[in-house]
A and B are shown apart, each in its own frame.
Chain A
Amino acid sequence: MTTTVAPSAAAPAPSGEPTGRGGPPRGAKLVRMLPLTPAIGLMLVFLAGPIIYCVYAAFTNMALTGTGANAVKFVGLDNFRKAFESSAFTNAIWLTLVFTLISAIIGQNTLGLGLALLMRRSTKLVRNFVGTAVIGAWVLPEVVAAYLLSAFFNDDGTLNVMLHWVGLPGQDWLYAAPIIAVSLANIWRGTAFSMLVYSAALSEVPKEIEESAEMDGAAGARRLVFVTLPMISRAILTNLMLITLQTLSVFGLIYAMTRGGPGTKSQTLPLYMYEQAFSFSQIGYGTAIALVMLAIGAVFSLIYLRGLNSEAA
């Protein structure tokens, strides 16, 4: 990204801007672009194809069983009307928002930033220990992480043992507060990403700037808000975009921990979509929900792309 998309003063620019000046000896412009074809081909067939198919199927009554299985016909906006009138769908939207807000925007983002900031002041031993633990949680396969945390939050689990030590009552968190439990699980699993992005960004903030700000009397929190954070605003934006979008589509973690339950208390949009499309075989309705998710993702993606562009300008 050092060039076209998002030029950044801090990133190492290639020592001759690739202008094509001098250029390779043979090959017209089109031939030069030839190496792009495998990537474009794959993305057209397996990414653009399904999305276009999604736009089509979302307006039909396509199903794996029943009438929609034999004669697929257009039903206009029926699927969307059905969705927005269904309480299960609105429930899923709310849970997705709560999940994203708690686990990505508040949890992973702040904890990751906090860890990266604290690590700059800590001793090497502590830094390595915490870094390894946090990254370890991240490298674990999704389903394994889900099992570890199911055990942790269970009635007989470690969390309750710890709560008993300090004299607090325990409970089965996966039943009592499933969306909170899966959100915390997602924080546990995903914080490493934000930590890495922020560590990299902070390592490029010159120490002198912060020190001179300190000389001028800007202490602690003020220095952080007015000096350090503005200098890494690009990283904050990129990180927020990526983790929000990752969190919107989390499926395996929640599915393995709660299957969306109890009832529908942790059924976020991906799980609702899966249930409708496959457990209930309503492909048309399922793709309509998929389209809603794609639209949400697209809006987020566009907002942040705009942000990146205006920052860079």
Chain B
Amino acid sequence: MIARDRISKLTANLILLAIGVLFVLPLLWVLFASINRTAGLRVEFPTSPTLENFRAVLNTDTTYRPVLNGLVLCGGAALLTMVCAVLAAYPLSRFKSKFNRPFLLTVLFCTGLPITAVMVPVYGLFVQLNLVDTIGGTIMFMATSSLPFAIWLTKTFMDGVPISLEEAAWVDGAGNMQALRRIVLPLMWPGIAVVLIFTFIGMWGNFFVPFMLLLSPERLPASVSIFTFFGQYGEPNYGQLAAYSLIYTTPVLLLYLLLSRKLGGAFALGGAIKG
């Protein structure tokens, strides 16, 4: 029995390692290429590592402005999503109403709609409303598109906060919003942080929405402006592309680390999703 256990454990480790290596290889490319002046397409450690690629991309047009645009866009949209999601989750979690079930089913249904498909009519709508190429309009659409999922997750986390504490507050004469702010939110901030960070990470990587709704180069976020590396001049500079990719990825990596150190990481999200 024990010998068999050990063999099965060894096999599991070996298979996992092999899969892990396959996942790591493409990641290694970006790390090595970013410090290689003559980077090509294969994973190879540079003969003379250099920071020149980073120096070349660290300027307003290539990096600073797109990253700042991305922060404004995704930060604003993630906050808007969260505020709306928390407000919406409260009555859904706390009060029984005939309206809850159909609403939650609709929300669940909306999480399934392919946002990509909505983009053509959204573009049409934006033309009608004169919202094309505005940061505000794009923020509102990005917030809306992640709202169904955020409401669903937030409600799940909120259900975990016992209602008895609020009942005491209600007796003391606190209103709903007061109870939400003073009692529920402090108790569920880890859940809120998880939803907020994941919403932000999703938006930060989103390419299609800003690609369609924003036009002026000076408004484009990092996810779209990365295309400028593939100009009309043939082969891009892979080293600089890799360096830029790393810089662009850093904010979400930091957020993710924060999440996994303080909040139980993505596994908390998995727990909330799996039902």
Binding site for B on A (CB under 8 A): 1-6, 8, 11-16, 18-20, 22-27, 29, 32-36, 38-40, 42-43, 45-47, 49-51, 53-54, 57, 62, 111, 115, 118-119, 121-123, 126-127, 129-130, 133-137, 139-144, 147-149, 151-152, 154-158, 160-161, 188, 192, 195-201, 232, 234-235, 238-239, 241-242, 245, 248-252, 255-256, 270, 273-274, 277-278, 283, 286-287, 290-291, 293-294, 296-298, 300-302, 304-305, 308
Flag if B120 contacts A123 (CB, 8 Å).
no
Flag if A293 contacts B116 (CB, 8 Å).
yes
Flag if A43 contacts B17 (CB, 8 Å).
no
Flag if B120 contacts A273 (CB, 8 Å).
yes
Q: Which of A18, A57, A250 contacts B121 (CB 8 A)?
A: A57
A148 to B273, CA, bound (A): 29
Flag if A141 contacts B252 (CB, 8 Å).
yes
Flag if A158 contacts B43 (CB, 8 Å).
yes
Flag if A201 contacts B274 (CB, 8 Å).
yes
Flag if A39 contacts B15 (CB, 8 Å).
no
Flag if B162 contacts A47 (CB, 8 Å).
no
A19 to B95, CA, bound (A): 6
B237 near A: Cβ within 8 Å?
no
A277 and B120 contact, Cβ closer than 8 Å, known pairs A200-B271, A301-B109, A301-B112: yes
Flag if B162 contacts A15 (CB, 8 Å).
yes
Chain A residue nearest in CB terms to B88 = A39
Q: Which of A39, A239, A245 contacts B274 (CB 8 A)?
A: A239
Within B107-162, the residues touching A (CB, 8 Å) are: 108-125, 140-141, 143-145, 147-148, 151-152, 155-156, 159-162
Flag if A22 contacts B95 (CB, 8 Å).
no
A18 and B93 contact, Cβ closer than 8 Å, known pairs A5-B105, A200-B273, A308-B275: yes
B185 near A: Cβ within 8 Å?
no
Q: Which of A13, A38, A118 contacts B87 (CB 8 A)?
A: A38
A46 and B141 contact, Cβ closer than 8 Å, known pairs A129-B20, A286-B120, A297-B112: yes
Flag if A283 contacts B120 (CB, 8 Å).
yes
Please list the 7 inter-chain residue pairs (A to B) with the smallest Cβ-Cβ separation, ordered nearest first: A301-B112, A196-B270, A249-B114, A252-B207, A141-B205, A200-B270, A249-B116
In the complex, what residues of A have CB within 8 A of residue B274's CB?
A: 197-198, 200-201, 232, 234-235, 238-239
A147 and B109 contact, Cβ closer than 8 Å, known pairs A6-B275, A32-B91, A156-B40: no
A286 to B212, CA, bound (A): 14
Q: Which of B30, B83, B145, B206 contacts A47 (CB 8 A)?
A: B145
Q: Which of A5, A133, A160 contacts B23 (CB 8 A)?
A: A133
A249 and B159 contact, Cβ closer than 8 Å, known pairs A143-B223, A200-B273, A283-B124: no
Binding site for A on B (CB under 8 A): 8-9, 12-13, 15-17, 19-20, 22-27, 29-30, 33, 40-43, 83-85, 87-88, 90-97, 99-101, 103-105, 108-125, 140-141, 143-145, 147-148, 151-152, 155-156, 159-164, 166-167, 170-171, 173, 175-177, 179-180, 201, 204-208, 211-212, 222-223, 226-227, 238, 241, 245, 248-249, 252-253, 256, 266-267, 269-271, 273-275
Flag if B170 contacts A130 (CB, 8 Å).
no
Q: Give 7 A-B contacts (CB < 8 Å), ordered by A residue.
A: A3-B93, A25-B170, A188-B23, A199-B267, A270-B117, A286-B120, A305-B105
Chain A residue nearest in CB terms to B152 = A1
A198 to B275, CA, bound (A): 11
A161 to B57, CA, bound (A): 29
Flag if A119 contacts B16 (CB, 8 Å).
yes
Flag if B156 contacts A122 (CB, 8 Å).
no
A136 and B125 contact, Cβ closer than 8 Å, known pairs A8-B275, A122-B13, A249-B117: no
Flag if B177 contacts A35 (CB, 8 Å).
yes
Chain A residue nearest in CB terms to B116 = A249
In the complex, what residues of B have CB within 8 A of residue A286's CB?
A: 120
A122 and B248 contact, Cβ closer than 8 Å, known pairs A19-B96, A39-B147, A252-B207: no
A157 and B41 contact, Cβ closer than 8 Å, known pairs A43-B147, A54-B118, A234-B274: yes
Flag if B208 contacts A252 (CB, 8 Å).
yes
A187 to B148, CA, bound (A): 25
Given contacts A46-B122, A47-B110, 9 further A-B contacts (CB under 8 A): A2-B160, A11-B275, A54-B118, A141-B205, A141-B222, A141-B248, A142-B205, A196-B269, A297-B113
Flag if A118 contacts B248 (CB, 8 Å).
no
In the complex, what residues of A have CB within 8 A of residue B269's CB?
A: 196
A248 to B113, CA, bound (A): 9
In the complex, what residues of B have CB within 8 A of residue A135's CB?
A: 256, 266
Q: How far is the CB of A218 from chain B (nearest CB, A)?
A: 15
A151 and B147 contact, Cβ closer than 8 Å, known pairs A33-B97, A57-B121, A293-B114: no
Flag if B13 contacts A141 (CB, 8 Å).
no
Flag if A133 contacts B20 (CB, 8 Å).
yes
A246 to B76, CA, bound (A): 23
A252 to B222, CA, bound (A): 13
Flag if B163 contacts A152 (CB, 8 Å).
no
Flag if A20 contacts B41 (CB, 8 Å).
no
In the complex, what residues of A have CB within 8 A of residue B159's CB?
A: 1-3, 13-14, 18
